[in-house]
Every structure is written in C-alpha cells, then in structure tokens.
Structure 1
Amino acid sequence: MTALLTASRIRRVVLPLALCAGLAAGLSACADDPDEGTNGVGKLAPDAIEEKAQEAADSAKAVRLAGTLVSKGGTFKLNMRLKDDGAAGSVTTKNSTFELLRIGDALYMKADAAFWTHGEGGSQSSAAPSSASGSSGSSDSSDASEADSEAADKLDDKYVKVPQDDPSYKQLRGFTDMDLLLDGLIGLHGDVVKGDRDKIGGIRTVKVKGGEDGEGGTLDVALEGTPFPLQFARGGGAGVVVLSEWDRDFSLEAPEPGETLDYGKQLPRT
C-alpha cells in the first residue's frame, strides 16, 4: 500500500512537470522567428549576404533608382528607370531639374527655358545658342541677351540630342548607365557586419554595414524572394537611394521629330 501511494504521488508530481515542459516548448516554437517565410539570406554571414545581393543586382535586367547623392560636385536627386540598353528619368540639381532619355548610345536631354538661359551657374550665360556677332557694345549685348532668351524659349520642354563628342555626354550618360550606377552605389567598404531587420517598401530586409557604425555604407537586402538590394545609405551622410522594380521591363521610345531640337553648340555644364 505504501508503495502504491508513493507511485501515485510521483505521478501527480511528474505529470504537471511534463505538461509545463511541453507548454514551454510550445511557446518557444510559437515565438517570432525572424527568418520564418524568408529566403534564408538573413541566416548567412554578413559578407555572404552582400555577395548574394551583388549577384542578384548583376543578374537583373532593369531597376528603378531614386534618392539623393551628395558629392564634391554638389547634391543630385535621381529618379531613373534603368536597364541594359537605356534609361529614362530625371535629375535634380541645386538650380534645376532636367530629364534624360537614353536608347543605346543616343542620349536626349529635356529641360525648361531657365536651364538653357542660365545653365547651372544661376546667372545669365552663353548656355543658350546665340545668333549675335562678335562685336561689342551695350546694344549688341542687349541683342545677344534677347537672342539667348528667344532660343531658350524654343528649347523649353524640348528634347535635345546630346552629341557624343560633347564634354557633357559622358557625365550625363553616367546617370543612365545601370551597371555604372549600381557598381558605384551598392558596394560596402571596410569590415562587413550584420545589422538589424527592417522593412523597405513593405518588404522585410536585413541590413549589412561597412563597419560597426555604417561608415562604409549600409545596405538593406530583401528577405523575401530574390535577395535584391532595396536601399543603400552611403557613409558619411552622402545620400540614400532606394532600389525598386527589379527586373520590371519598360519601353523606351525616341522622341518624335516635333519634340526634338538641335542645340547647335556645346551644352551648358550640368
């Protein structure tokens, strides 16, 4: 009888303990798993995450890049749709906004009259083509200014085909080159470390940083679907760009003849 009571007591003690252990295990299993339902990239080492993002970007056929870049030459706001054989979008600088369209090697630029009259310097210049002669005098200067204004009005909201031998061609084309922009924008510098989880455009991401404080840049990599880079914050506050619409193709069409004018001389510096 004593043995039976002892066994009964043991069962009364062990059963609740087993139930508690099972409950604890169940609660642990139900806890949020940051990698549940993801592509698994978040489990990788930080340098492997960066490598996966770079591979995804290199294999993509199209992307939208929007954000701000700060350089010694000033601050640029970009909103460009890019693909292998061309691009379309806009660039905003301190004094103006202009549109760019590239189809193969053919590069077109469109801006308002103020851009063609004043260029980037913000003051009256020779940015617009002038029909004035080389003679001097206040009358000639006034005539030249009037000619500049008339020419700029004609160029207002028209596409200008940028000659390939123009000094501005290479710089402007750089804003439309998908490989060039991505190579220059999503590379991290320094020892790569893994950062926090976040969301960009509603998509879960994991951050990888160049250095503990992100001084070498911070890259957000998608945890859903293909591990595309979705945002890059340049080190030192040098701008943030958002990358979206990966592999979403878009059409590019040359402007109609009535939408295009010949600038006729070297473009203003941009």
Structure 2
Amino acid sequence: MAAFPPAARARRAGLAGALCAALAVSPAACSGDPDAGTNGVGKLSAKEIETKARTAADAAKAVRVSGTLIGKGGPYQLNMRLNADGGTGSVTSKSSTFALLRIGDALYVKAGAGFWKQTGGKSGAAAAGKLDDKYVKVPKKDPAYAQFRGFTDMHTLLDGLLGLHGSLGKGDRTKVGGAPAIQVTGGDGRGGTLDVSLKGTPYPLRFERAGGAGTLQLTEWNTDVALKAPDKSDTVDYGPELPAS
C-alpha cells in the first residue's frame, strides 16, 4: 500500500475537518464519541436509563400519548393529551370511537348514536338519539367511571403502559420523530422496548409493548394542555348510571 507524503496527509486531514464544519455534522461524527452532544444517558446501564426515564415522566406536567394498543377485543387507537388535572382525546376501536374529557373529577364521554346502541343494550338504543354527539357526564358511582378515568389519568396511564418485563438490556441507538434515542429492552425485546431521549431531559419517546401488544408514541412533554368544560347546551346529564346492557 502506498504511503501518503506528509503534505498529502495534512491536506487530507484539513479536508476532513472542512467537511465536518461545512456539513455541520454532530461532534460525535468527527470525534468518534457517540455520546458527544447528548445528555449522557447513553453511557449508563439499562437499569439506570430506565430509572431516569421513569423519573422524568413522573416529574412531567403534561404529555401526549398516541398509538395502537392490542387488547382482548382487538386493536384500538389511543390519542390522549394529558396533564396533572385531567385529559382530553379519543379512543377508537374497529367498531366504535369515543372522545373523553376530564377536568378534575368531572368526566365526560362523547360518542355517536351507534356507540350507545352497541354498548348500552336496550337502554342505550332507547337513549341513543338523546346522547348522540353530546358530552355525557359519567357519574362517579357508575362502573364505567374508573375505566374511562384511567385513560385520562396521566400517571396511572403511564405506569400501566410503560412496564418492561424480563432482564433489562441496552438496545440500539435510534431516532424517534427526529430525536436521537437509546433503547432499553426487556427480555431481549420480548418483554418490550423503550426508546429514551438522548437530548435534553431523558423522556420516554416510544414504547413497544411486550408480546406485540402495541406501540405508543410519547410526545409534547410539558406542553400545556388546555382543558375546558363543555357548554351546557352540548352536555347531557343522563343520571346516576350510564346506559348498560
């Protein structure tokens, strides 16, 4: 192999430096340090990364959770914006869609007539016209209250969805929505995969649930969520219990 003379080597080194500057590549690309310019979380153990991600999520004041969950009844789409006082968004399954809004303890569900006919049996069919596309206040004593509220409670929802199973390991460095991230896997990926941000606060950015049970995106951390009670003209107080089959 031919050796380059000193002058040629100097020119090559200068060219490489110029390319790094001209292309505005990250320091890591030219330094060889994959953690250069990051929050340093990538250097930690898998357990430490998961702990930092959970700590960041617990301290957050707001988040958007969206994606697909697969339950016993099949897949459904979740799209919720949440804060410490409540949340707003929608849940869509193969056969129905309903919107949720919670402000403090006041919880509302909004859906079309088809939803009430399908879920409420004879009483739902009878009331479907009245409830169609209205915010229906869910009574606290109704069995559905706790279930619906779970979708609108930020920390309850995150705690229930973000669990990894099995021995923790560090996975690949990835990008989620353009943001650099590092993966933490449970059981070599069979127990779920969590992508944690390598920029700024180490928030969870994406979670693939164990057993192929869905993938969630976690975005808009600490972005204010404006929650406003619906107008009285758009609200129905059905009574002590919602229609039930």
TM-score (norm 1): 0.77
**What is the match of residue 128 of structure 1?**
124
**What is the match of residue 199 of structure 1?**
175
Q: Larger Rg: 1 or 2?
A: 1
Give the letter aligned to residue 222 of structure 1.
S
Residue number among 199, 217, 228 corresponding to 1:224 in the alignment: 199
Q: What's the offset of the Cα at 1:31?
A: 5.1
**What is the match of residue 53 of structure 2?**
53
- The Cα offsets for residues 85-124 of structure 1, whole Å up to 9 and x where unpaired, read as 110000112310000000111100100011112227xxxx
Name the CA shift for 1:54/1:91 in 2 (closer, same or farther; >3 Å). Answer: same
TM-score (norm 2): 0.85
- The Cα offsets for residues 186-243 of structure 1, whole Å up to 9 and x where unpaired, read as 221111111111111111110110022x111100000111000000000110000000
Q: 2:207–2:217: 8 Å Cα contact kept in structure 1?
A: yes
Q: Secondary structure at the match of 1:153?
A: helix
**What is the match of residue 71 of structure 1?**
71
C-alpha distance in structure 2 between counterparts of 1:106 and 1:266, whole Å = 14
Q: 1:42–1:223: 8 Å Cα contact kept in structure 2?
A: yes
Give the letter aligned to residue 234 of structure 1.
R
C-alpha distance in structure 1 between counterparts of 2:97 and 2:113, whole Å = 11
C-alpha distance in structure 2 between counterparts of 1:128 and 1:45, whole Å = 53
C-alpha distance in structure 1 between counterparts of 2:49 and 2:114, whole Å = 46
**What is the match of residue 188 of structure 1?**
164
Aligned pair count reads 229
- The Cα offsets for residues 39-63 of structure 1, whole Å up to 9 and x where unpaired, read as 1111111111111101100100000
Instruction: List gaps (5 residues or longer) in structure 1.
Output: 1-12, 130-147
Q: State how 1:114-125 maps to structure 2 within 5 Å.
A: 114-119=114-119, 125=121
Q: Which runs of 4+ in 1 moved over 3 A?
A: 26-29
Q: What RMSD over aligned residues (CA atoms) do the two structures have, in Å?
A: 2.6
Instruction: List gaps (5 residues or longer) in structure 2.
Output: 18-27
Identity of aligned residues (%): 59
**What is the match of residue 99 of structure 1?**
99
- The Cα offsets for residues 135-167 of structure 1, whole Å up to 9 and x where unpaired, read as xxxxxxxxxxxxx2xx31221111000000001
Q: Secondary structure at the match of 1:42?
A: helix
Q: What's the offset of the Cα at 1:266?
A: 3.4
**What is the match of residue 226 of structure 2?**
251
Q: What's the offset of the Cα at 1:180?
A: 0.8
